[in-house]
Amino acid sequence: MIYINLLIIILLLIFIHELGHYSAARLFRVKVSDFSIGFGKSIFSYKDRFSTNWKLSLIPLGGYVKIKGLESIFQKVEQKNYDSDSFQSLSLFKKIIILLAGSFFNILSAWICLFCILFFFGIATFSPEVGKVLENSPASMNDIREGDIISRVNGYEIKDFSDISKTFDKTNFVSIEIIRNNDLILKEFELKYNNEMNKYIIGISSTNTPIINRFSLFNSLSQSIIFIPTYYYATFDYLIKSINNKTITNELAGPIGMVKMADQLMLDKLKGVMFMFIMISLFVGIFNLIPIPLLDGGHIIYFTLRSIFADSLPHIVTRIYLTIGITIISFIFIFVTLNDIFYK
């Protein structure tokens, strides 16, 4: 069941990405002749009233939409007068919208999924009660004890435990009001800088009992929106550290690596499936915008250059573009696949 769920996630991601391209193309009245999930022989097909052939193909390793005029851009064609329902007849702005739409749908679907998790499953928060005090920390040296309730920090009211760190992010001094046995006690002391966490710490942790807040519309909206840029920033920062520490080969995982780790990803539970969908959706959304030839980001660069040169580039430039794209994508695929086989 775990591997079936992983396959469903991948197929759904492909469908959503290609649906973005399809929807934007149809918005600008461009003809789409094929919408395929998978490659190779078709095992199911249906033609709609717009003459689009919807297909489910035998090899579920990707998908595509065949947009009129887009499939022939790399061929040596001298034609300048394109049909009105052709991709080639559109302005640069509309072409870019179609190319961006796949990634936009991936990121949008990830946000909707995350919002549903937060809204229906609930947001876990912790009360401002001290659950544990670290030894030799500023908290232990200033007599903060387990069971103390943190009331205010540096003048800010504390409603849940996560509020505490927000009040002293860039200072090494803290003023804490705590409630102990119905008495209000003021503690003022300097903090210790933690090099691993790259910030000042008090040396306390929360209790192990979370408070689950379900059906909170505002909190679900705000946290799901904040999560996406935070996720991208954290991922980029982690990637840079992995490169600097020369541990990148241990961190990368492709399809084979995902299959090998599938039993560790809680894909037998609905929440685990939804979180995996979110993570891969956000990755696919941003990866396709990297300006590598043949990816959506590379296409945007290509069509931008074409528009500068009156929508025409020497065929040798197009051939170089194709060669570079195929080389880079092939290298990434081979590297990740070998890494999955030998290092995971």
Strand partners of residue 129: 149
From 120, 115, 127, select the one nearest 226 (Cα to Cα): 115
C-alpha distance across the termini of the chain, in Å: 22
Alpha carbons 52 and 55: distance in angstroms, whole number? 9
> What would the two tokens of residue 138 be?
């500023």
Residue type, 245: N
Catalytic site residue 78? no
> What would the two tokens of residue 65 be?
């939409």
Q: What is the CA radius of gyration of the chain?
A: 26
Alpha carbons 130 and 125: distance in angstroms, whole number? 14
Is beta strand 156-157 parallel, antiparallel or unpaired with respect to 32-47?
Answer: unpaired
Using DSSP's 3-state secondary structure scheme, residue 318 falls into helix
> What would the two tokens of residue 90 be?
């559109």
Residues 161, 163, 169, 173: is their CA dihedral positive or negative? negative
Using DSSP's 3-state secondary structure scheme, residue 30 falls into coil
Q: What is the DSSP string of 268-298?
A: TSHHHHHHHHHHHHHHHHHHTTS--TTSHHH
What interhelical angle do 92-116 and 296-308 show, nearest 10? 160
Catalytic residues: 18
